[in-house]
Structure 1
Amino acid sequence: MCINVTTDNSDNRIMRNENEKNILISAADDIRYLLKRGYPKPGALRFVCNHYRLDSEYRNILNRVTVSPDIAQDRMKKRTECCQLTGKKIAVDGYNLLITVDSMLTGHTLWKCDDGFIRDARGAFRGYSITPATYKAVKCVLSLLSKNSPAYVKILLDTQMSRSGELAGYMREQFNHTILNFEVKTSRRVDHDLKKCSEDMIIATSDGVIIDAAAKVVDLAGCISKDIQINPEKIPSKIQICSSKNNDQYE
């Protein structure tokens, strides 16, 4: 069973403060304007953030949320809905998914990004530690997959992360209580392994680099957020970038 720990988005001070929110919206629009005209994202992000004198928290949010329109449209075309997973094969970017679900369970802000994917902005990957919320996140993932009945699930966990072997063992134990056909593995090259998956595999990740290399993708974290009624924040825009039905980011 997936359990929501808290809905107190304690790190969401920016969207609660009208002045800070307006600064974030203006900066995001400026970055989108530059991306639409072909400017490289690192330079556009640096230029705009320096112009507005934004701190690292703003920069990280804007880096996660803003996506060039061409890339956003390509990613949306690859998306598979969770309700379409029945009988399909899935490869899961383990820590990418678990950290995002951990964030939603522990009250950190989630963001609906320009490509339609749900992401957090904690920047927690390198320093991530397994906590009780991690195990609750596993149960959320298990609940979602059990409900949608994929034919096969392969979960990859980064070996270099602390206690990955222990987490893999816990996940195998939990999945053994289901009828799912699954495999949980640790790997030194998760990104590489996911990019090399066969085209009949649907990749579950919000990592943009992996999404761009995949044939088909699914946003499991987005589906879980809907199931437990956690609404991600959006940075609205007056710029009309794309009209895909999957992207309601632009207003």
Structure 2
Amino acid sequence: MHPADREMFGAQAAPALRQAVADLSWLFSRGYARTSALKLVGDRHALTERQRTAVGRAACADENLAQRSRHQLKPNTMRDHEVMVDGFNLLVSLEAFLSGGVLLLCRDGCVRDMSSVHGSYHAVAETDAAILTAAERLQALGIRSAHWLLDSPVSNSGRLAQRLRELAEEHHWPWTVEAVFNPDTVLKEARDVVVISSDAAVIDRSERWFNLAADIILSQSRPETWLVDLQHA
């Protein structure tokens, strides 16, 4: 957590952040380039760099919003499906949820965190709990099997893959786990499976996707949950 998060994402900052998301989405919908549009909106609302990152993650063009909605599956349609899981994307969000980190309810209904995995990942106290939370919900949804993908260039991806395999074997979950160079490419090209991710670039290319992080977080709110609603201006 950033030392200034309470100020940057507290109740007093939320109205400006929501308006910034609405403004940025309006610009995206009219073809403005991401970098220039985000600078324009960020300067207008006097946002910090971390707030600009949040607004950028929460905003999307009307066209993308409609497309994501069309291809998104609902919980009651998940039974017997095979799923492909964007591993770091899901687990880091669930770790933030369990530890009380900042979470963003975005325009497309996804819940995204403020973390970033750039070449390095370290398991935290909440990692096993995040895996178990995901597994419990996947079982409740009645999925047939899950294939987890991790980024092989990220440090400790091998250790996380091994932990996922150990827990799957221990609990008899129908999971396979693979570390690949670029999971995004595999996920975007996946067919005949349901993709589990909140990565905008991935879900914009997915034939079918499921919003598992939001499904869990919005239904299992905890006292320490810190969810900033940027969906509704």
- State the TM-score, normalized to the length of structure 1: 0.83
**Mapping for residues 179-198 of structure 1, pairs under 5 Å:** 179-198=172-191
- 1:108 equivalent to 2:97? Answer no
- 8 Å contact 1:76–1:116 — kept in the other structure? no
- 8 Å contact 2:121–2:156 — kept in the other structure? no
- 8 Å contact 1:85–1:148 — kept in the other structure? yes
**Judging changes above 3 Å, is the alpha-carbon distance between structure 1 residues 211 and 125 closer, same or farther for their aligned structure 2 residues?**
same
Which residue of the partner structure matches residue 3 of structure 1? none
- 2:228 pairs, out of 222, 225, 233, with 233
State the alpha-carbon separation in 1 of the partners of residues 182 and 151 from structure 2.
Answer: 7
- 1:11 equivalent to 2:5? Answer yes
- 8 Å contact 2:158–2:179 — kept in the other structure? yes
State the alpha-carbon separation in 2 of the partners of residues 126 and 56 from structure 1.
Answer: 21
- 1:201 equivalent to 2:193? Answer yes
Which residue of the partner structure matches residue 212 of structure 1? 204
Question: 1:180: how far off?
Answer: 3.5
State the alpha-carbon separation in 2 of the partners of residues 92 and 172 from structure 1.
Answer: 14
**Judging changes above 3 Å, is the alpha-carbon distance between structure 1 residues 132 and 182 closer, same or farther for their aligned structure 2 residues?**
same
Amino acid at match of 1:208: A
- 8 Å contact 2:94–2:130 — kept in the other structure? yes
Question: 1:192: how far off?
Answer: 1.2
Q: Any stretches of 5+ residues in structure 2 without a counterpart?
A: none
Output one character per residue of 1:119-162: Cα deviation in whole Å (capped at 9) or x when no partner: 11233454432112112111111111122221121001111222
Amino acid at match of 2:150: L
- 8 Å contact 1:150–1:180 — kept in the other structure? no
How many residue pairs were aligned?
Answer: 227
**Judging changes above 3 Å, is the alpha-carbon distance between structure 1 residues 15 and 55 closer, same or farther for their aligned structure 2 residues?**
closer
Output one character per residue of 1:145-185: Cα deviation in whole Å (capped at 9) or x when no partner: 12222112100111122221121111111112344322111
- 8 Å contact 2:14–2:228 — kept in the other structure? no
Q: Any stretches of 5+ residues in structure 1 without a counterpart?
A: 1-9, 236-248
- The Cα RMSD (Å) is 2.0
Question: 1:52: how far off?
Answer: 3.1
**Judging changes above 3 Å, is the alpha-carbon distance between structure 1 residues 212 and 29 closer, same or farther for their aligned structure 2 residues?**
closer
Question: 1:79: how far off?
Answer: 0.7
**Judging changes above 3 Å, is the alpha-carbon distance between structure 1 residues 197 and 56 closer, same or farther for their aligned structure 2 residues?**
same
Amino acid at match of 1:220: L
- Aligned to 1:110, what secondary structure does the other structure show? strand
Amino acid at match of 1:56: E
- 8 Å contact 1:87–1:150 — kept in the other structure? yes
Question: 1:47: how far off?
Answer: 1.4
Which residue of the partner structure matches residue 59 of structure 1? 52
